Amino acid sequence: MSLGPDLSLPPACPALGQYGNYNWDDASFALYTLIDMPASELEALACTLDAQRRQNQDGEGSPLVRVAPAHAFSGKSLKDIVSNHVAMDKDISPRDDGAAVGGDLHWYPTAFVVVTTSTWESGGLLFVYCVDDEDEAEGCPMDKFFFCVEDAHFMLSSISFGDESCAESKTTYAIGEGGQHDDG
């Protein structure tokens, strides 16, 4: 009997909440995998998740989702991905327009997407995030939920544009691991 990957998270990750003084407008969500998956298939998935954004922007602008530089974590745990995401270069571009921000981020620092099963088309993908709003939480608590691939564009765009928090998206888009919407 094969057990699935270890999806436990650290209770909090303050290191992911250190980017409040940066511009996140061009930040992409990192895509990781906890299963054996060819890089080409993971790239195809990233393109699928990003297709509507590319279409809406006529191929211009930054992608909504990109495969993380170190993305393959088969046989490892979700905590390993969190550690990697903390250490990952967020590709910060300095600004020369006098803006009062530390620079432009090109990787979304507080959230990412993970493939946990080969049946992700029907079973969903895992969205992992930390609450980094000082008013909402102390210490950047970690949370996660599964979501349908079909919901990716609306969900990730709403988070990226600041229209919805990750916690609000969990309420709206969370599904059970079997692909069914949660009832609360």
More confident residue, 2 or 132: 132
> DSSP 3-state assignment of 77?
strand
pLDDT of 81: 98
Q: What is the pTM of this model?
A: 0.89
pLDDT of 1: 42
Identify which of 71, 65, 75, 74 has the alpha carbon closest to the alpha carbon of residue 84: 71
In the chain, what are the domains?
14-173 (3.40.50)
Chain center to CA of 46? 11
CA distance 9 to 19: 20
Cβ–Cβ under 8 Å, residues 32 and 116: no
pLDDT tens digits for range 146-184: 999 999 999 999 999 899 999 999 999 999 765 555 544
Tokens of 184: 């609360």
Determine which of 44-53, 73-82, 134-143 has the lowest per-residue pLDDT on average. Answer: 134-143
Q: Are strands 28-33 and 107-115 parallel, antiparallel or unpaired?
A: parallel
CA distance 80 to 19: 21
Where b means 16+ CB within 10 Å and e means fewer, 38-64 reads: eeeebeebbeebbeebeeeeeeeeebb
pLDDT tens digits for range 61-74: 789 999 999 999 99
